């Protein structure tokens, strides 16, 4: 049985996963500290030369500070609620899951986005791919482009074989006709 329920098991219980998650959390906190208003704008200062003259951000750092404080308070409130539900009163989660079965199923199935994407995008794209493979590729690519090119080469080689009689005077006549055709082409161009 997993935590927070029989359907889920949390991988963070293993020591190796806890170390990895701790490193990620430390990285997230340290990167977040880099952009504190009125303290340091390290990323903005680093990127500014790349966008010189194209766009300067408009807005006050006071509004940025207020939104950072609100975001921090909302995050801490979420942590407090989770601590209360999962640590202090673990039976509350099971009772809420039983009472709100429909919402629980909706959230467990990730709002059914995977099923929606499967029906709206994956299946039609797979059907289009099968159709194009069976109809377009076989008829156009294999029969026309590949097969047509092969047939054209065969016809051309048959014509050349027929013209290769072994008589030198025929070769000389073809050479004279070819030179005359090239000369005639250049006469028409001038």
Domain boundaries, the chain: 11-108, 120-189
* 55: three-class secondary structure by DSSP: coil
Q: In angstroms, rounded to a whole number, what is the distance separating the alpha carbons of residues 131 and 149?
A: 24
The mean per-residue pLDDT over the stretch 72-82 comes to 95
Checking if the pLDDT of 14 tops 60, the result is: yes
pLDDT on residue 23? 94
CA nearest neighbour of 35 among 27, 44, 23, 48: 44
Angle between helices 90-99 and 101-108 (to 10 degrees): 100
* pLDDT cut 90: percent of the chain above it: 35
pLDDT of 34 > 80? The answer is no
pLDDT beyond 90 at 129: yes
131 closest CA partner among 123, 117, 119:
123
pLDDT tops 90 at residue 100: yes
Among the listed ranges 35-39, 102-106, 160-164, 169-173, which one has the minimum average pLDDT value?
35-39
């Amino acid at each position: 049985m997993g935590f927070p329920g029989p359907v889920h098991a949390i991988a963070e219980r293993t020591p190796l996963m806890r170390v990895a998650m701790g490193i990620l959390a430390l990285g997230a906190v340290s990167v977040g500290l880099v952009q504190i208003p009125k303290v340091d704008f390290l990323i903005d200062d680093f990127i500014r030369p790349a966008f010189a003259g194209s766009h300067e951000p408009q807005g006050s750092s006071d509004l940025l500070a207020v939104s950072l404080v609100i975001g921090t308070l909302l995050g801490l409130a979420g942590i407090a609620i989770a601590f209360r539900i999962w640590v202090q009163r673990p039976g509350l989660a099971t009772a809420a899951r039983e009472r709100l079965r429909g919402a629980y199923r909706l959230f467990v199935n990730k709002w059914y986005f995977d099923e929606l994407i499967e029906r709206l995008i994956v299946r039609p794209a797979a059907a289009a791919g099968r159709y194009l493979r069976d109809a377009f590729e076989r008829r156009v690519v294999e029969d026309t482009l590949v097969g047509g090119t092969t047939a054209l080469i065969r016809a051309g080689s048959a014509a050349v074989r027929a013209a290769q009689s072994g008589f030198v005077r025929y070769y000389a006549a073809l050479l004279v006709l070819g030179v005359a055709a090239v000369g005639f082409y250049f006469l028409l161009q001038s």
